[in-house]
């Protein structure tokens, strides 16, 4: 059973880059068929999918954040990471890493494993 | 693609809670549901419209028809008080979409 753990600074200054990592245990980040995602939740708000990186290294991002987001894999550390540039107070949120591993032939995808989340505040 | 949920649902203990998730022709998507308790990460409670992961009580069930998917919680107890989110995967864009979320209050 895969387990995920987020890490990174809890405070980021406006206009700087938010950088978080998600450490994967229980399997390799390069194992086949995984999609490694980042999801955030602003205070008192709903869930917002940010984007994913796949086991092959391909990425896909939420159009609302695409110009500022980079998600990548570090196989040496068995981690995947999120970078969000030019942050503002609106980017303050709890950030979750999550994964799905769709079976061959399935027609939909969902998140069956989540990290505990890490809170990030954007403030000077 | 937009998924709309009622902001809140209130239910008495022992009764049935129904949480809706509206979207244009949502029946053409598979709908998944998550439960999120305060300060915790979401937990998958229903996938593929009506399947339950292991460990999820049979009291949780789901359906999907027309423009509305529904999560039903029967014999509600205080432990079911949480926020619930629906989610679909948009095949054409390869994007995940969450609903607006519903807070379930047990009276």
* Closest chain A C-alpha to B30 CA, distance in angstroms: 6
Any chain B CB within 8 A of the CB of A35? no
User: For residue A74, what pLDDT is reported?
Assistant: 94
User: B32: which chain A residues are within 8 Å (Cβ-Cβ)?
Assistant: 108, 110-111
Q: Is A99 on the interface with B (CB under 8 A)?
A: no
For residues A47-51, give the mean pLDDT: 98
DSSP A36-76: EEEEEE-TT--EEEEEEEETTS-EEE-TTTGGGEEEEEETT
Tens digit of pLDDT per residue, chain B (107 long)?
Answer: 999 999 999 999 999 999 999 999 999 999 999 999 999 999 999 999 999 999 999 999 999 999 999 999 999 999 999 999 999 999 999 999 999 999 999 99
Among B2, B47, B21, B102, smallest CA distance to A113 is for B47
Residues A51-95: pLDDT tens digits? 999 988 999 999 999 999 999 999 999 999 999 999 999 999 999
Q: Answer whether A46 sits within 8 Å of B85, measured CB to CB.
A: yes
Residue A104 pLDDT: 82
DSSP H/E element including A57: none
Q: How far apart are CA A31 and CA A29, in angstroms?
A: 6
User: What whole-number distance in Å separates Cα of residue A36 and Cα of residue A15?
Assistant: 26
Half-sphere exposure of B94 (CA within 13 A, CB side): 11
């Amino acid at each position: 059973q895969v387990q995920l753990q987020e890490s990174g600074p809890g405070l980021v200054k406006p206009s700087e880059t938010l950088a978080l990592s998600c450490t994967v245990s229980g399997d390799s980040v390069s194992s086949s068929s995984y999609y490694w995602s980042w999801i955030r939740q602003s205070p008192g708000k709903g869930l917002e999918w940010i984007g994913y990186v796949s086991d092959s290294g391909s990425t896909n991002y939420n159009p609302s954040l695409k110009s500022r987001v980079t998600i990548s894999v570090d196989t040496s550390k068995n981690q995947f990471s999120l970078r969000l540039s030019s942050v503002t107070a609106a980017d303050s949120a709890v950030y979750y890493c999550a994964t799905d591993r769709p079976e061959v032939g399935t027609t939909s995808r969902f998140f069956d494993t989540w990290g505990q989340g890490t809170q990030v505040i954007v403030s000077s | 693609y937009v998924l709309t949920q009622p902001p809140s649902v209130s239910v008495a203990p022992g009764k049935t809670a129904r949480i809706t998730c509206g979207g244009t022709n949502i029946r053409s998507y598979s709908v998944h549901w998550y439960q999120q308790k305060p300060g915790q990460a979401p937990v998958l409670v229903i996938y593929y419209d009506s399947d339950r992961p292991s460990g999820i009580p049979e009291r949780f069930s789901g359906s999907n028809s027309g423009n509305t998917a529904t999560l039903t919680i029967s014999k509600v107890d205080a432990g079911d008080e949480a926020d619930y989110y629906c989610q679909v995967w948009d095949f054409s864009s390869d994007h995940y979409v969450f609903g607006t979320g519903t807070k379930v209050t047990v009276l």
